[in-house]
Amino acid sequence: METKFICKICGKKFKTGAGLATHIGQFEKLKQKEYFDTYIEPWFHKCKYCENEARYGTNFRYLPTCGCVECSIKLSKDTRLEKYGDANYVNSQQRKLTNTERYGVTCNLNTQKCIEKRVQNYKEKAKDPEYVKWRRSLISGASNGMFGKHHTEEAKQKCKKCGTANGMFGKHHTEEAKLKMSINRSSPKKQKYEQDGLFFDSTLEVQYYNLLKNSNLAYTYLHGTKKLLYLDKTGKQHTYWPDLEINGKLVEIKTKAAFNSDRYYV
């Protein structure tokens, strides 16, 4: 272990791995993983559960898995099985006590800070198609914990109670209410710019709007009020909300790069 704190390139010694890592980046101009693969363990580090390369960690070491969700879950289960004899072991009582001491609640996931962080993490993960595919697989077929099972009468009554507590239980939104909700979903939260009481996604849209105001063209602001459906190259259906209608023609304001992408193919 001590040899890892000696630079293999210049021979300089360091008390900690962090010191060596800083030296490698600043003076040897190498990334830590590149240095590790070249001078310490120059061989392929395979994931414990699949054929992919293991994920590089910190302080000159590789992690046991490649870092994907499936392999991480397998590692977690194996660790619990080895330590407690149960792959699904959870010390719920100790967890509640710890959360109460630290956060004042039995479940730390209910704190506002954790909720905000969880939402942000999910938004980042949702950009990965493989993660979305895995999430969907958890609630489909045999992967669903309730697959082939039935709720008890007690559970049914609890679900029913939760349902009746909802002000909209057994009711339906009017078409006018649906239209208002669609506008709210597509306007204040997502749009960054407001002018003359109207919301816009980009400065490009604002500039185009100002040009229209100074022209003699008849136009109608449509953002969030008119919905169209279209198919992309793969046949997948998407929802499209036009920006404006000018002389009877729908207008969408996008950059050239956006129109060249597959998503806007009709």
Q: Which of 243, 170, 169, 177 is nearest to 212 (CA)?
A: 243
The most confident of 107-116, 137-146, 230-239, by mean pLDDT: 230-239
Whole-structure pTM value: 0.37
What are the distances in angstroms from CA 248 to CA 21, 179, 217? Answer: 64, 21, 11
| Residue scoring higher pLDDT (177 or 62) | 62
What pLDDT does 135 receive? Answer: 73
The burial of 14, by beta-carbon neighbours within 10 Å (0-12 exposed, 13-18 middle, 19 or more buried), is given as middle
- Bridge partners (DSSP) of residue 244 are 221, 251
- Bridge partners (DSSP) of residue 245 are 220, 250
What pLDDT does 215 receive? Answer: 81
At 143-182, the pLDDT tens digits run 666 777 888 888 888 877 776 777 777 788 887 777 666 6
